[in-house]
Amino acid sequence: MKKLLKFLLLATLCATLVLVLTACEDADDGITEISIAWWGSQHRHDITSEVIALFMEENPDIRVIYEFGDGDSYFSMLDTRAAAGDVWDLFQLGSNYPVYIDHIVPLNPFVSDGSIDISNTTQDFIDITTTHNGDIVGISNGVNAWGLAYDPAMFDAAGVPRPAPGWTWAEFEHATLAIAEQLGHWGMGVFTNDAITLTQFMAQKGIEFWDPDPRQLGFDDPSVMVPYFRMRQNMVLAGAMPDPGEAMGITDIEGDPLVFGESAMAYLASNQFIALANAAEALDPSRQLAMTVLPTQPGGQVASDIVSSQMFSLSRSSENPEAAVRFLNFWVNSVEANEILQGERGIPIMEHVRAVLRPQATPVIAETYAFIDMIGDLGGGPATVLGNPRQAEVEDFLNDNIIDRLVLGLITPEEAAQEVFDFALQTVGFN
């Protein structure tokens, strides 16, 4: 027994020593190691690792190790690493970047010394990932814009004019109600996130929801939200939009009622249109969906803004920022890499990359290019990126509490507006 114990102890000791020694050895072979992580689908993992392999082939002095996961597991990994102060050299972030701002190194010096070549894009595209302090927090992996996908055939069948750029929220509401009445389907599916739609609705009136000061809101009169809430309540109570119980069954874009012909419109980001249209076509090849801009205020500003779908940011804990930046430059500028990626993360911001990819696009992908062009033609430049570290908390309250009670008829639009305002003001106060 004693002998066995001794043996086990020795074995453990040896194993630990061997592990420690190999770990030390690793760092000393003249190769710089950088780490990178992202979230996404299996398809994204496959093409991203392919690009990483290509990069290592061209840059034998750099070894890239990578990790990935779906959205939830990615952010729990990131949170753990952030707490330990050991974030990957390059890590993917979306519009929630203010939460991690402590961990991001601004890229400005690398852009000005040319390590990251931005000569093939416009200042507007750089601005969409730049904070109001002028810090470039990342280089966009691609752009998209919120819009509406719709089924033109259903509009025709209901005798409602198809949406045209510049249509108003009143026209949108009318179309939704008319389609529901004529066809017995929903006119509109779900808004993925009412907080985003509401922010856009307000921005068209020139009012920002958030303020550059994280402890403030961008507006002080709750009544600006009332028309939005009134429209939202009307449509659900009239049966033209799913109620909370029905909406609960709709969890992803491939399960959207528009795919099954149960609604005539869906709210989405342009890169989601590819999955939506493919799913609808798989069920019924005769269906041809289209994309259009969000409704706007009468005579108001352009409805859809071009936003960065996500970006890679450089982490403060990076020990080899130069190597990481070299990868980043390759990632956004290499035509070869982007031919593998095919704009899966959004339409690339580099002109020379777009020029190569556009002719290769399938009809569905071509529709998203046309959509982004449509916004460009309407003069919808990139919006200022305003967010708040407590945004998710306020959005959850708005989506899961206020909207539910509103469309169930438990509160009036005026009460909804007041409650959202009070809650948001109280919550940003904790910043």
Contact 141, 310 (CB under 8 A): yes
SS3 helix, strand, coil % of the chain, rounded to 5? 50, 15, 35
The nearest distance, CB 421 to another protein, in angstroms, is: 14
Binding residue for another protein, selected from 10, 18, 19, 410, defined by CB under 8 A: 410
In whole angstroms, how close is the CB of 135 to another protein at the nearest point? 16
Q: Is 314 in the site for another protein (CB under 8 A)?
A: no
The residue among 1 and 24 lying less far from another protein, judged by its C-beta, is 1
CB of 196 to another protein, least distance (A): 17
User: Which 186-225 residues touch another protein, going by CB under 8 A?
Assistant: none
Nearer to another protein, 21 or 392 (CB): 392
Size of the site for another protein (CB under 8 A): 29
Given candidates 158, 275, 408, 425, which one binds another protein under the rule CB under 8 A?
A: 408
Contact 142, 307 (CB under 8 A): no
The least CB distance from residue 403 to another protein, in Å, is 9
C-alpha–C-alpha distance, residues 308 and 92, integer Å? 12
Measured from the CB of residue 270, what is the shortest distance to another protein in angstroms?
A: 26
430: contact with another protein by CB under 8 A:
yes
CB closer to another protein out of 77 and 118: 77
Residue 292 main-chain phi, psi, to 5 deg: -140, 170
Dist CA 390 CA 99 (whole Å): 8
Binding of residue 244 to another protein (CB under 8 A): yes
Rounded Cα gap, residues 324 and 139, in angstroms:
13
CA gap 427, 393 in Å, rounded: 8
Instruction: Tell me: does residue 15 bind another protein (CB under 8 A).
Output: no
What are the beta bridge partners of residue 104?
315
Nearer to another protein, 80 or 122 (CB): 80
Rg over alpha carbons for the chain, rounded to the nearest Å, is 24
- Of 12 and 362, the one with the shorter C-beta distance to another protein is 12
State the nearest-atom distance from the C-beta of 299 to another protein, in Å: 36
Residue pair 98/387 in contact by the 8 Å Cβ criterion: yes
Q: CA-CA distances (angstroms) from residue 304 to 100, 197, 241, 293, 371?
A: 26, 10, 21, 6, 10
Q: Which of residues 145-184 bind another protein (CB under 8 A)?
A: none
Residues 100-129 that bind another protein (CB under 8 A): 100, 102-103
Pairwise CA distance, residues 119 & 112, whole Å: 11
Per-residue x/- mask for another protein, residues 249 to 268, rule CB under 8 A?
A: x-------------------
Q: Is 396 in the site for another protein (CB under 8 A)?
A: yes
The window from 166-174, 296-304, 354-362, 394-402 that contacts another protein (CB under 8 A) reads 394-402
CA neighbours within 13 Å on the CB side: how many for 142? Answer: 21
251-254 long-range contacts (CB < 8 A, ≥24 apart) are 253/279, 254/279
Judged by CB under 8 A, the residue of 135, 281, 393, 414 near another protein is: 393
Cα-Cα-Cα-Cα torsion 235, 236, 239, 242, nearest 10 degrees, comes to: 120
82 contributes a contact to another protein by CB under 8 A: yes
CA distance 60 to 55: 8
In degrees to the nearest 10, what's the CA dihedral of 91, 139, 32, 53? 80
Least CB distance to another protein at residue 129 (A): 18
Chain residues in the site for another protein (CB under 8 A): 76, 78-79, 82-83, 85, 99-100, 102-103, 243-246, 248-249, 390, 392-393, 396-397, 400-401, 404-405, 408, 410, 426, 430
